């Protein structure tokens, strides 16, 4: 007999957040690892991104100047809710329980939020979405607030590194 579980009481199948996991014991190392994995996945996906015509996910923001960059960072909490919190909640209501499936499906939805930059933008959003969903699920057992803010912080740090890299790449081309 199976028990109906939600995000608030997931078993180990969906969450790592118990007192013994390294994610909880060392949030800074966990966050740094997640940012590194986000960039690593993008590097692995680069041939596909280029084959799809590339993606200019930061260009429009950078062309808008510092004000638009700051606005972009200000809306990251909304993007965290729309890209991880809400999709993961819906997926658990649909009885999706496997962490890998939750991350992949939520990542696919997060990719849709970046589709404006083309199919390559979807790939970039998908790879980031997988990692951000993993962050959310890893911390969800501690609290919704911890999951939300750690995921938002990882996304913010990623973008804070990515924006200057895009600016340098654009200056070199």
**In this structure, is residue 61 part of a structural domain?**
no
Once rounded to an integer, what is the mean pLDDT over residues 3-11? 43
**In this structure, is residue 53 part of a structural domain?**
no
**In this structure, is residue 129 part of a structural domain?**
yes
pLDDT of residue 114: 86
**In this structure, is residue 131 part of a structural domain?**
yes
**In this structure, is residue 124 part of a structural domain?**
yes
**In this structure, is residue 67 part of a structural domain?**
no
Residue ranges making up the domain that contains 123: 80-166
Q: How many domains does the chain have?
A: 1
**In this structure, is residue 73 part of a structural domain?**
no
In terms of Cα–Cα distance, which of 63, 60, 64, 80 is closest to 128?
A: 80
Angle CA 36–39–45, to nearest 5: 140
Whether the pTM exceeds 0.85: the reply is no
pLDDT of residue 80: 94
């Amino acid at each position: 007999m199976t028990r109906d579980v939600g995000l608030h009481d997931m078993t180990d199948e969906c969450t790592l957040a118990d007192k013994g996991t390294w994610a909880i014991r060392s949030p800074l190392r966990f966050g740094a690892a997640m940012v590194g994995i986000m960039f690593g996945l993008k590097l692995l996906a680069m041939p596909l991104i280029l084959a799809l015509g590339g993606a200019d996910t930061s260009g429009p923001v950078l062309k808008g100047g510092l004000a638009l960059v700051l606005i972009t960072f200000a809306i990251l909490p909304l993007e965290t809710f729309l890209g991880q919190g809400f999709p993961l909640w819906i997926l658990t209501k649909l009885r999706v329980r496997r962490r890998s499936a939750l991350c992949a499906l939520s990542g696919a939805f997060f990719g849709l939020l970046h589709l404006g930059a083309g199919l390559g933008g979807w790939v970039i959003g998908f790879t980031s979405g997988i990692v951000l969903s993993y962050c959310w699920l890893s911390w969800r057992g501690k609290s919704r607030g911890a999951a939300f803010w750690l995921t938002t912080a990882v996304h913010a740090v990623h973008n804070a590194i990515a924006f200057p890299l895009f600016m340098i790449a654009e200056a070199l081309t």
